[in-house]
């Protein structure tokens, strides 16, 4: 039989350790999504749309793939979507600089969204954009840009 004091000690230990582990996992995801977004920015800057496709969530007509797969650069319609996103991101890159302001996670019907809020510093007023990612087959892919 395990004594009550040992049971209480184990419970206290779990209460103290679990939040730390959870916070560490969130920090890891935050950094991974940030690195993915920086890779996307680099690919857009170099206009490498074919290499950008695996970083973009598929949102086409195929319901089996929608929100569950990434774009295929060999498919004309999917490549056009990738090119549109690339051009949109290139517009952001014209601003002087930006900062990663906030990391948000949110459950939606498509799955768990990992969102970076970026503040782009312009000569006028700062512009805020949200880059939303889904985990697709173990990698993060951008599914939406709001701003």
pLDDT in tens, 10-29: 333 333 333 333 344 578 99
Is a pLDDT exceeding 50 seen at residue 144? yes
User: Which has more pLDDT, 147 or 55?
Assistant: 55
Rounded to an integer, what distance in angstroms lies between the CA atom of residue 117 and that of residue 112? Answer: 16
Question: What token pair was written down for 132?
Answer: 């939303």
Q: Is the pLDDT of residue 4 over 60?
A: no
What is the pLDDT, as a whole number, of residue 98?
A: 92
In this predicted structure, what is the pLDDT of residue 84? 96
4-45 and 76-92 are packed helices; what angle lies between their axes, rounded to 10 degrees? Answer: 90
Tens of pLDDT, residue by residue over 94-117, are: 887 899 999 999 999 999 999 999
Q: Residue 65 — φ and ψ, nearest 5°?
A: -100, -25
Contacts of 120 (CB under 8 A, 6+ apart): 92, 95, 96, 97, 98, 126, 127, 128, 129
Q: Taking the model in full, what pTM does it have? A: 0.79
| 30 has a pLDDT exceeding 90 | yes
Structure confidence at residue 1 as a pLDDT band (50, 70, 90) = low
Quickly state the pLDDT bin for 93 (edges 50, 70, 90).
Answer: confident
């Amino acid at each position: 039989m395990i004594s009550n004091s040992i049971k209480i000690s184990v419970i206290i230990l779990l209460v103290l350790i679990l939040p730390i582990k959870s916070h560490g996992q969130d920090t890891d995801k935050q950094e991974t999504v940030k690195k993915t977004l920086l890779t996307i920015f680099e690919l857009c800057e170099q206009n490498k749309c074919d290499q950008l496709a695996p970083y973009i969530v598929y949102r086409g007509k195929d319901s089996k793939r929608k929100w569950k797969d990434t774009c295929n650069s060999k498919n004309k319609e999917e490549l056009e979507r990738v090119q549109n996103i690339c051009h949109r991101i290139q517009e952001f890159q014209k601003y002087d600089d930006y900062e990663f302001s906030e990391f948000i996670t949110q459950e939606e019907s498509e799955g768990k969204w990992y969102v970076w809020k970026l503040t782009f510093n312009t000569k006028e007023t700062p512009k805020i954009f949200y880059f939303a990612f889904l985990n697709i087959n173990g990698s993060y892919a951008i599914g939406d840009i709001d701003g």
